Amino acid sequence: MRDTLRALAKLSTIDASAREIDLQLQQIPAQIGESQANLKKLDALLARERSDLASAETLKKSHQEEITKQNTSIGQAKSKAAKARNSREADAVERELDHARRTIKERETELATLATAIESQKKTLAEHEGEFEKLRAIFAADETKANAELAELHGKRNIIVVGRDEIAAKIDKVTLRRYEQVREKRGVAVVELETNGMCTGCRLAVPPQLVIEIGRGEMPEVPQCPHCRRFFYVRSLIEDQPSL
């Protein structure tokens, strides 16, 4: 039991160090993913601004074409007016002319409004594109830094876990499986049992009878907390051994 407890304590020390790194190994890619998602959103907004601008430009072109068309109509109506044979025909031509002139005036007013809107859209788009490029450069630099950090963390982790397999091999399969289950659930699977009988993992009191039994070191298996199932590291059991 004492050998298993020693091995479990060593394993837990290794795993606790690796856990810190594992958390960072999870956090860094998550942060990169978040920045990527933000950039993508901004890119989509820019695409919409570009598309709105293109629509405004198309509308502008269609107004200009309409004005050209109406000017041609005016030319044609004027030549018809010269050939009008009676007042009815002359009135009809006059109505055509009125309609064309009115349409031109309307389109010209719309064009003026549109031109102001297009100017403002272009300015905003240029500003947003500039901001986007800045952000993209910052993100690229952050990503390079993050990748270097990840490589360093992987390196550190590899060093920390050296010898872990050999230590795990000293622990029987059932205990090892329990250890992994508790570690998965609680993060740390081996904690100290305080002399007053409190589990330092869950801060709950262990029944006095059990504390006495654990202290004697006569239990066949490594003791576990009855509340949180963490294994108890008991200093008196493994530190006063001459073999250590």
CB of 228 closer than 8 Å to CB of 188: no
The smaller minimum CB distance to Zn ion, of residues 11 and 225, is found at: 225
Q: Which of residues 134-173 bind Zn ion (CB under 5 A)?
A: none
Stretch of 44-52, 57-65, 104-112, 227-235 lying at the interface with Zn ion (CB under 5 A): 227-235
The smaller minimum CB distance to Zn ion, of residues 105 and 227, is found at: 227
Closest approach, Cβ 187 to Zn ion, in A, equals 13
228 binds Zn ion (CB under 5 A): yes
Closest approach, Cβ 228 to Zn ion, in A, equals 3
The smaller minimum CB distance to Zn ion, of residues 154 and 227, is found at: 227
**Which residue in the set 140, 227, 235, 241 belongs to the binding site for Zn ion (CB under 5 A)?**
227
What does the chain look like in DSSP terms, one character per residue? Answer: -HHHHHHHHHHHHHHHHHHHHHHHHHHHHHHHHHHHHHHHHHHHHHHHHHHHHHHHHHHHHHHHHHHHHHHHHHHHHHHHHHH--SHHHHHHHHHHHHHHHHHHHHHHHHHHHHHHHHHHHHHHHHHHHHHHHHHHHHHHHHHHHHHHHHHHHHHHHHHHTTTHHHHHHTS-HHHHHHHHHHHHHHS--EEEBPTTSBBTTT--BPPHHHHHHHHHT--SS--B-TTT-PEEE-HHHHHS-TT-
Q: Which tokens is 172 given?
A: 């029987």
Closest approach, Cβ 224 to Zn ion, in A, equals 8
CB of 100 closer than 8 Å to CB of 70: yes
222 binds Zn ion (CB under 5 A): no
Stretch of 5-13, 115-123, 130-138, 221-229 lying at the interface with Zn ion (CB under 5 A): 221-229
Residues near Zn ion (CB under 5 A), total? 6
CB of 202 closer than 8 Å to CB of 230: yes
Q: Which of residues 183-212 bind Zn ion (CB under 5 A)?
A: 199, 201-202
The smaller minimum CB distance to Zn ion, of residues 185 and 227, is found at: 227
The smaller minimum CB distance to Zn ion, of residues 59 and 188, is found at: 188
Closest approach, Cβ 171 to Zn ion, in A, equals 20
The smaller minimum CB distance to Zn ion, of residues 161 and 202, is found at: 202
Closest approach, Cβ 230 to Zn ion, in A, equals 5
Summarize as ranges the residues that interact with Zn ion (CB under 5 A): 199, 201-202, 225, 227-228
